[in-house]
Amino acid sequence: MTDTNKNLFNLDELSDYKVAEDYSDVRGWNVKDANNRTIGKVDHLLVNKTAERVVYLDVEVDTTLIEEGYNTYQDRVSDGVHEFLNKEGENHLIIPIGMAVIDEENKLVNTNQIDSSTFAKTKRFKKGYVIDFGYELDLVRHYRGDNTIHSSNAADGFYDREEFNNKFYKRNLK
C-alpha cells in the first residue's frame, strides 16, 4: 500500500467534505456482523474524491476478532511457502458503505451481509496506511465471495457498484 496509489482520504483530511446534515456521524459507533457480534468500532470515514463521497468505513477491529483470525494464512500450506495474512499491529479493515446499515436509534452500524468469520479472515492494515486499489478489489471479492470481479472494473465505475450504493455522506459544496 503505497502513497503514490492513494485514492482514499480520511474525511478529516478534506476541508470541503463533511457528514451531511441529515445523517449521523457514525465514527465511534460499534459495528456488528450478520450474527449480531461486535467486530469493532468505526474509526474513520474514507472518501474517494472522484466519486465525491464516503465509500468505506474504516473499522478498528475488536481484539477477539483479531485473535480468531490471527493464524489465517495468505496461501494454502500445500502451495509451499506461505505467510500469515495479518501481522502484529494490523487492526483495521474497511467496509464498503453500501454493505453497512446505519441504526441511528441504537448508534450501531450493522453489516447484515458479512459474518465474523469472514471479517476474521480479511486482510487488515495498520492505522494510517495508505489503501491502494488492489486491496479494495481483493476486499470486495472476499466480502462477496466472488473472484470474478476483475481488475478492469478499476478506475471508471468501480464506486457505482452496489457495495457503494449509499448516499449517507456527501460533499459539502461551498
Match domain 1-15+47-71+90-165 to its CATH number in 1.10.10, 3.90.1720, 3.40.50, 3.90.50.
3.90.50
* Domain spans, the chain: 1-15+47-71+90-165
SS3 labels along the chain: CCHHHCCEEEHHHCCCEECCCCCCCCCCCEEECCCCCEEEEEEEEEEECCCCEEEEEEEEECHHHHHHHCCCECCCHHHCCCCECCCCCCCEEEEEHHHCEEECCCCEEECCCCCHHHHHCCCCECCCCCCCHHHHHHHHHHHHCCCCCCHHHCCCCHHHCHHHCCCCCEECCC
Per residue in 2-11, pLDDT (tens digit) is 455 578 999 9
Per residue in 112-145, pLDDT (tens digit) is 889 988 888 888 899 888 998 888 988 998 998 8
If you average pLDDT over residues 31-39, what whole number do you get? 95
- Percent over 70 (pLDDT), the chain: 78
Please say if the pLDDT value at position 90 is more than 50: yes
Per residue in 55-87, pLDDT (tens digit) is 999 999 998 887 765 454 444 444 444 444 677
Please say if the pLDDT value at position 170 is more than 80: no
Whose CA is closest to 57, among 18, 29, 89, 23? 29
pLDDT at 171: 39
pLDDT at 7: 83
CA distance 89 to 124: 9
